[in-house]
Amino acid sequence: MIKAIFMDFDGTVYSHTANGIPASTIDAINSVRKKGIKVFLCTGRAYPELWQFDISELILDGKILSNGQLILDTQEEIIYKRPINGILKEKMVRMFHEMKVPIYFGTLDDLVLNYANDFIVAVQKTVNSEMPVVKDYQGEDFYMASAFIEDDIAMKEVMSLKENAEITFWHKGAVDIVPKGVSKALGIDEVLKIYDIGLSETMGIGDGENDIEMFRHCGISVAMGNSSPDSVKEAADYVTDDIDDDGFYKALQYYELI
């Protein structure tokens, strides 16, 4: 019996084609919550990034953000946080200041970008996201970073972090960076401890590379029809339709949750 659903944001809940959350997705979430099933956002998005979107209709039981680094309850209070520290932080701050690669840090209340170019502007537009403001990094705690890879030089710079970091693509030219061993799965575990729910009682729904660990972790995994790359669909138990073809609703219908 499913007691908790963990769902990605971009391409799973939020459609960048329609620039909004499909009505059928809202209906599906409301329906399962009325049955007592808890629903959590589980995204790579940093907390300040979500403020850019109108998700007021999305009633949730909590949010796992920054690929598991930060967790909020229903009142937006922090119940778990793990800022980036140690050698990875040192390397990322050095990268930020060397300005060979556009990179921004997600703090609790800001996105701190080292520099902007046409490439990052174009990538941000694909996910309907505002440009972070270019500013100096002042030593604030940050929970994840996004780097933008325009060429082989940038790729080499970013991949030099791989010994200490998990690097997952959310766009063919952009990655999320969190500490080695961190994933949405760890964030899910923290939530399950609080609510005393077993892994076999969970469902994960997503569409991107950073959802694969969630798929391997949850009792049931569902890939959206618009998932990319193909490895995302291959990792899932079930592939539903595209987000813009009521894929989220149909997935819960398939598993007889609504």
- Global pTM exceeds 0.75: yes
Q: Which CATH number fits domain 4-82+182-254: 3.40.50.1100, 3.90.226.10, 3.40.50.1000, 3.40.50.300?
A: 3.40.50.1000
Burial (CB count within 10 angstroms: exposed 0-12, middle 13-18, buried 19+), residue 83? middle
Q: Is the CB of residue 207 less than 8 Å from the CB of residue 227?
A: yes
Q: Is the CB of residue 161 less than 8 Å from the CB of residue 145?
A: no
Q: Domain boundaries in the chain?
A: 4-82+182-254, 86-179
Q: Is domain 86-179 annotated with CATH 2.40.40.20?
A: no
Instruction: Please give the Cα distance from 121 to 211 (Å, whole number).
Output: 25
Structure tokens at 93: 């701050």
Instruction: Kindly give the residue spans of alpha helices, DSSP state H, lying in 179-258.
Output: 184-195, 212-217, 230-235, 247-254
Profile the chain (258 residues) by mean pLDDT over runs of 10 residues: 97 96 98 98 96 93 96 95 97 96 96 96 93 95 96 95 94 94 94 96 96 97 96 98 98 98
Q: Is the CB of residue 202 less than 8 Å from the CB of residue 225?
A: no
H or E element in which residue 25 lies = helix 23-34
Burial (CB count within 10 angstroms: exposed 0-12, middle 13-18, buried 19+), residue 208? buried
